[in-house]
Structure 1
Amino acid sequence: MNPTGTPPDRAAWLLELRRENAEQEATLAGTFDEHWGEIGETHRAFVERFCSMLPAGGRVLDAACGTGKYFGMVLERGLQPLGVDHTGAYLDAARERLPQVPTEVHDLQDLRYEDSFDGVMCVDAMEFVPPEEWPIVLERFHRALRPLGHLYLTVELVPPEEVRAANEDARTAGLPVVEGEVIWRDPDPYYHHYPPIAQVRMWLSGAGFEVVDELEGPWGEGYAYHHVLARATAGTPPGA
């Protein structure tokens, strides 16, 4: 067993999935904005509200920033973004978009910032994080924030019956998935995890966050996003 309590065979599988995901994402970098570059109305409203909660000139960690499509919104509010992503090709595109914004290559699970940011945003990315690593990632976010800093994240939603069916398919194929995990094919296989929102709230609380606001966004093409704004409470979260 590793420190997260994950059996060795599952831990190795998750590491391999992370590697494969990085490779797949690298192939999408050139066309990402063409397919996913538009900022939806609800996403825009939450980013604007998140930015309004931060002090003038504050620092923002855009975790899993992709091609940096939110950099402009953050800069327009007089804030200082730093973009991190595990896919270097995405960061190349982000630098082409706004070269003045610094970027660094990191996995969410491996962030090492401490008391450095007034806000952390992680938009449309947590679906790639397996359940045993959600607490780790949230604790990394909390540690990166200054006292009483703010977090904005989204949680992807898919109809439960589709998740259950895909999860059962993965189990039948002999994969070490747990509840809420699926392997989609579009056409290549890729991993997503869909935790219950009640579980997300528990993880946030355990990592030292209190939810300020949340909203289920509009559904379209079979999925939606649950938007969460949270504030880091005083003190160090358990396990940090």
Structure 2
Amino acid sequence: MRTPSKWEQKVSQNPEHSHWYVQRFRTMAADGADLAGEARLIDAMLPRGARVLDAGCGPGRVGAFLAGAGHEVVGVDVDQVLIEAARTDHPGPTWLVGDLAELDLPTAGVAEGFDVIVCAGNVMTFLATGTEVEVLRRFREHLNDGGRAVVGFGAGRGYEFETFLADAATAGLTVDTMFSTWDLRPFAPDSDFVVAVLSKG
């Protein structure tokens, strides 16, 4: 039996949480906030027309920027409300409801692999406990040869950086480099955020 993710548990406790989350980012966008930092990093890694998976895409801000930059984007999120918001606010990319621990896009009609998988917004810390290795393994399976997964999340959220790095290795991913921010500041032992660039081992 499938274990609900921590995000789904949060939503079950507060059914309005997803709607609040969508409105939060709509308001920030309307106020002119810079919401594309993660996407700019991903865009810099790619030639035009690359294939990108936005894993845990939420209401679509990262994937939408990348689609606007000329990439072919597929976004997946476990939350139907967030996917509906992405489809409404950012038509163009393929937005799909799905659990990253069960990611199998060929069965959803998405046959080709990806040049980059981006997993931003603390998504890794909202997974169901114990599914982290499986999620990372499925990322690896969906990467094209030479493809990379870029994962970012903060400290103090129940998923230690050391555990994440061990899980990535178990999943067959190699750490190419790590930063402490999406604007490429160096990672240090006392960093409170990690952005890891991973490739197939």
2:9 is aligned, of 9, 15, 20, to 20
Query: Is 2:39–2:63's contact at 8 Å kept on the other side of the alignment?
Result: no
Partner of 2:119 in structure 1? 122
Would you say the 8 A contact 1:29–1:89 is kept in 2? yes
- The answer for the alignment partner of 2:100 in structure 1 is 108
- Over residues 125-165 of structure 1, what are the superposed CA-to-partner deviations in whole Å (9 max), with x where a residue is unaligned? 1111245211100001000111121111112212xxxxxxx
Identity %: 21
**Counterpart residue type for residue 138 of structure 2:** R
Unpaired segments ≥5 residues, structure 2? 107-111, 186-190
**Equivalent position to 2:52, from 53, 57, 60:** 60
Matches within 5 A, 1:1-240: 14-15=3-4, 19-23=8-12, 27-36=16-25, 38=28, 44=37, 46-113=38-105, 116-124=113-121, 125-158=123-156, 194-217=158-181, 224-233=192-201
Paired amino acid for 2:49:
G
Contact 1:53 1:150 in 2 (8 A): no
> How far apart in 1 are the matches of 2:14 and 2:114?
27
Deviation at 1:78, TM superposition (A): 1.7
Distance of 1:143 and 1:25 partners within structure 2: 34
Residues 7 and 127, structure 2, Cα contact 8 Å, conserved in 1: no
TM-score, L = length of structure 1: 0.65
Offset of residue 34 of structure 1? 4.2
Gaps of 5+ in 1: 1-10, 159-192, 234-240
Q: CA contact under 8 A between 2:11 and 2:17: conserved in structure 1?
A: no
User: What residue is the counterpart of 2:188 in the other structure?
Assistant: none
- Measured at CA, do residues 51 and 212 of structure 1 come closer, stay the same or move farther in structure 2, by a change above 3 Å? farther
The one-letter code matched in structure 2 to 1:76 is: G
- The alignment's TM-score, normalised by the length of structure 2, stands at 0.76
Which structure has the larger Rg over C-alpha atoms? 1
Q: Within 2, Cα distance between the matches of 1:16 and 1:216?
A: 25
What is the CA RMSD across the aligned residues, in angstroms? 3.0
Distance in 1 separating the partners of 2:196 and 2:85: 27
Return the letter of the residue paired with 1:230.
L
Q: CA deviation at 1:43?
A: 7.1
Q: By how many angstroms is 1:51 displaced?
A: 2.4
How far did 1:94 drift?
A: 0.5
| Paired letter, 1:49 | L
What is the CA distance between 1:49 and its match in structure 2?
2.6
Cα deviation, residue 111, structure 1: 0.3
Q: CA deviation at 1:16?
A: 8.1
In structure 1, C-alpha distance between the alignment counterparts of 2:5 and 2:72, rounded to whole Å: 34
